[in-house]
Amino acid sequence: MNSRKCALEALCDITDRGAYANLRVKQLHGILPEREAKMAAALVYHTLDHLLTIDYYLSHFVQGSQKPAIRGILRLGVCELLFLSTPPHAAVSESVSLTREVGKPALSGFVNAVLRNIDRSRNALPPLPDEPVLRLSVQYSYPEWIVADWLSVYGESQTEALLSHPESPMELRPQYPCTVRELQAALLFPSTVNDWDENSIRLSGGFDIASFPPFLEGKCTVMGESAMLACRALGDLAGKRVLDACAAPGGKSAYLSSLAKGDIQLTCFELHPHRKELLDKTLLRLHVAADTQERDAAVFDPAFESTFDAVLVDAPCSGLGLLSDKPDIRYSKSDADVAALVKIQRSILETCARYVKPEGILLYATCTISRRENEQQIEWFLSNHTEFQLERLPLAIENEGMLQLLPHVHHTDGFFLARMRRCR
């Protein structure tokens, strides 16, 4: 099976059948030689990254709807023509061959004509819409509801900076007792220590982490700096009892242990069995001792009431802070999903707040950029729980207890953090 047909099948699985891009693309490496798998993966991700832009241009050259396979072939072809360095004749001819290969030879002339028309018009493509929401949606391939939400908060220039932020680099951190210096020495290419957490290393390129000896030995793991800051925001945890309420896949739980140099009583909740298994594997690889439980963080258990010095609620969220790295999230979420998530987050906050000791810390975190899920959530919580007070995050970044990390400002993923102390 050639790489373009594999790319087409993966793309259609993601756009039409709800497959997760990272998992579906990973399968390409099991059915194609490594070089072809990388080419197919790049084609899928570039197409997803520009999907709404591609569809906007296609709508000016194609009348009516197409079957999923033909729509996918056209999308891949336009991506190669406009956003990759594929020679035009190769992009068109390979798309025509792919049309025949998927059993649609009668439509090969149609595909040929559409792509040739777009290639001839590449210097005179339809102009972008004038209205800001529509323009930014088409130009950067983000759904209108996300663009409108960010525009209302950040304005046009800041929203455009958010939308145009490039994909995040690969980031690693050491697991205690391994150090940053030891980890950097083991790498065979340049790396840079990040700005806000001295344990966070930014790599100059990607590599096969699964075969990296320090990774196999549990001395390091892949983790973004913003996720690490969610752990640091809890402060000194040495000798304390700590709950990670939504723990899978386990990176934050392991970093909490690492920051405390193993001197921590760690409890981890995870709702879903398959994710609980992933959590256990992560902690085992990184040599972390913890009490892991398959448990719904939104369901109160009186056995845990007022027992933890610190509780981390890394709440399920819309994930809008990770969109540059996971473009399929843009199209799988909706405004209605955010409304549903807000209810879940409130339920988890309400429950986990009861697990915090007097003078203990409750840390709320999400990997999204959404006032409804972030600032408004904390405002609601504090208005209903006067026993908690907002407290400055112990981080080098200026804050007043709540912090929205923005990719184009802080050079991290889009995380939100809020630290609250329970009054005596």
CB atoms within 10 A of CB 110: 16
Beta bridge partner(s), residue 402: 418
Three-state SS for the chain is CCHHHHHHHHHHHHHHHCCCHHHHHHHHHHHCCHHHHHHHHHHHHHHHHCHHHHHHHHHCCCCCCCCHHHHHHHHHHHHHHHHCCCCHHHHHHHHHHHHHHCCCHHHHHHHHHHHHHHHHCCCCCCCCCCCHHHHHHHHHCCCHHHHHHHHHHHHHHHHHHHHCCCCCCCEEEECCCCCHHHHHHHCCCCEEECCCCCCCEEECCCCCHHHCHHHHCCCEEECCHHHHHHHHCCCCCCCEEEEECCCCCCHHHHHHHHHCCCCEEEEEEECCHHHHHHHHHHHHHCCCCCEEEECCCCCCCHHHCCCEEEEEEECCCCCHHHCCCCCHHHHHCCHHHHHHHHHHHHHHHHHHHCCEEEEEEEEEEECCCCCCCCHHHHHHHHHHCCCEEECCCCCCCCCCCEEECCHHHHCCCCCEEEEEEECC
Angle, helix 108-120 to helix 51-59, in steps of 10 degrees: 100
Catalytic residue among 79, 246, 367, 423: 367
Active site residue 268: no
Burial 233-268 (b: 16+ CB within 10 A, else e): bbbebeebbbbbbbbbbbbbbbbbbbbbeeebbbbb
Pairing assessment for the beta strands 220-222 and 171-174 based on DSSP bridges = antiparallel
Question: Computed from CA positions of residues 317, 44, 14, 139, in that sequence, does the dihedral angle turn out positive or negative?
Answer: positive
Pairing assessment for the beta strands 308-314 and 240-244 based on DSSP bridges = parallel
- Tell me the catalytic residues: 367
